[in-house]
Amino acid sequence: MGTERWLQALDVAVLALLLLPLLQLCRAGYDGRLWWRVSTTDLLPVASPLTVSVPISAWYAAFFAVSGYAAVAALANGHIVHLALIIVAVEAGYGIWRRGCKPAPLGASAPTAVIAFALGQNALSEELLFRGVPLLFAWIGGFEDEPIWQYIFVVASASAFGVYHCRTSGRARLFDTTLYGAVLAWVAVWSGVASAILLHLTHNALAVPLNQTAATMPAWLRQRRIWLVAVFLLAGARLGWSLGLSAR
């Protein structure tokens, strides 16, 4: 196998790893009683008359369609390795930020299928509101490539994202969600809104210990660390290899 084939194989391996948390989210959210039930859901993460009534399974189809498109597009344009390393950096940053605060299993009053659905729906709707809508207006106005607009967009989008989460989750979330919003906004400018949705979905899928108990939590945390290390090693090896080849 030639060098180029090995590099392509590493790219595909990274892509498969990125989609793994989404498959686990879908598995955790599957409930035969709810899967085909029609749900009236807010399209925006704020109170508005914009709602849609579709089966819950259709939302999952949307999650995978968008994230799958983002992953394949990132593979085609050479962004997959960089996107993977951004995801690892975000998760490592949250690990440092929340050091000493270990996640706890969900209580019996929180149905896993409902929580899993909310994690995916929130990621999709928040990205469309905070990143997609402004970028759409910029594209219509023909100034989406203007550097000054991109800087304004990143700052404004991050600030709005932070304030929104501050109001819904408390002041303690202002700093980390603003910084996270800046990362998502920059990714949306650099690689498209679909890539920001993929990053957001992956983070949400890794953030909550779905279907876990006190006895299984250590294994869940260990598997999460193994996933992050595997993504980092594969993406880092791919990036280092390509940089080494270009330096020759």
- Of residues 113 and 237, the one with the higher pLDDT is 237
67-116 pLDDT, tens digit per residue, is 888 888 888 888 889 999 999 999 998 888 877 777 777 766 667 888 88
Global confidence as pTM: 0.90
Q: Measure the CA dihedral 8/13/19/23, to 10°.
A: 140
Instruction: Say what the pLDDT of residue 169 is.
Output: 76
Separation of alpha carbons 16 and 139, rounded Å: 31
Separation of alpha carbons 127 and 193, rounded Å: 7
Instruction: Say what the pLDDT of residue 33 is.
Output: 76
Query: End-to-end distance of the chain based on CA atoms, in angstroms?
Result: 20
Separation of alpha carbons 197 and 122, rounded Å: 10
Report the pLDDT averaged over residues 44-62: 77
List the alpha helices (DSSP H) in 77-207: 80-97, 112-127, 133-141, 147-169, 174-191, 193-207
Question: What are residue 42's DSSP bridge partners?
Answer: 51
Instruction: Say what the pLDDT of residue 78 is.
Output: 83
Average pLDDT, the chain: 85
Report the pLDDT averaged over residues 118-147: 89
5-24 pLDDT, tens digit per residue, is 888 888 889 988 988 998 88
pLDDT band at 180 (very low <50, low <70, confident <90, very high): very high
Q: Cβ–Cβ contacts within 10 Å for residue 77, how many?
A: 11
User: Nearest CA to 69 among 181, 190, 185, 193?
Assistant: 193
Question: Helix/strand/coil (H, E, C) string of 119-148?
Answer: HHHHHHHHHHHHHHHHHHHHHHHCCCCCHH
Separation of alpha carbons 18 and 206, rounded Å: 11
